[in-house]
Structure 1
Amino acid sequence: MAVLFAVGSLLFAVGATSVYADAVGTRWDNVTFFVGSLFFTSAGFLTYREAVDAAPPAMNPADRRVLVYQPQRIDWWASGVQLIGTLFFNVSTGTALAASLSPHAAHDHVWRPDALGSVCFLVSSGLAWFEVCHGWAAWRPKDWAWWITLANLVGSVAFGVSAVGAYVNPVSGQVHNAQEAAVQTLIGAVCFFVGAVLLLPERTEHTGERAAATTA
């Protein structure tokens, strides 16, 4: 999951830079975003599967694999909403590959799913933040999970601001603020990259704790 999220974030960050976009052209820049969205979806699916397979203490481990619907768990909602958001990004970046789009089509099939995907990421990050903090605010700088969810929350806010800047007028086809959209996409992607990289030491720490508990 960490590697897939990191690669997807890196591709979004690269695609958002004007230097790269000018060097490869609009089409290949759009391809970069689309490929990055596929990495996001792959990582999002694994995250969702991990949430589904994480059985509550009272549940029989043999039954947890078939229990897909778990609305009583915040992590299930967070991972599920995140996965839906990645699918919206697939649609948005995939449609952007079309050679010629009318202003109305660009509004409906590029900007709108991008905005919905950004909303999903923001909701997912907010739920994850609430679960880690056991509320809406906490200060836990020694907790890897706290830093990861903070990075993802800031990244989701940046993606939301980016979606506002990327608004496409359905009549004229004009983008509201393309530069702001690119800058915020870059900020969000960097935050997601940081969050993905931090998953590695968190995994190592948890593996060590489980090994110690087993030995004890």
Structure 2
Amino acid sequence: MNNISFSDMAVVSCGTMQMELESLRKEGFLDTEHLFFTPPGLHQDVEKLEERLIATIDRAKKKADKIIVVYGGKFCYVNADNPTRNMQEIIEEQGPGVARIDATHCMDMVADESELKRIGEELAGGEPVWWMTPGWVKFKHQVFKGWDKALANENFPRHTGGAIVLDSIGFMEQYMETDPEGFLEYCDWMGIPMQAYPVTLDRFKALLSDQAQVLNSVK
């Protein structure tokens, strides 16, 4: 994995994962000059998601022939009007130089199912958990666009284990220090407690590296 270079590639990602990708670029792992982001929260409007994602991939193609897409598969694109259409189909339509990382959603990009189960047992005693990454906190108004308190009450409280933020970049500590009122207001709006759990970016690095190898093998 350490020998993988992304210098001749571009990355197109949901803006929810912007902070993690910028952290990887800052540390030197992601050695590309070309990071492109779609707005967070587009999963709530799949027509707009598809439109913006394809347009952003087209922009990236002007900078590189190899494109890694950072979007989940199973949960990021759910088309009720066309249930058989999925994220992977959209990506395959963009050509052989475009590959998507193998993850179901942004939480799966930093912690796999077994890790989530372990963390859930440790922090919530196995109770249902509302999982988040830092982007879900920073971009709350985009991710939960259109959600009022009534909708929040329908969704969050059933997660009796609370909300757990998989924090690989130290975001939550800074957030709680600089905006404690905002943190408490967020918890109050959800109606459940929120806590951070530190994770590494090792899984994310591996997923990115896997697709870089796929793209490098394309003739």
TM (norm. structure 1) is 0.26
Larger radius of gyration: 1
TM (norm. structure 2) is 0.25
Q: Which structure shows the higher helix fraction?
A: 1
Q: Which structure shows the higher strand fraction?
A: 2
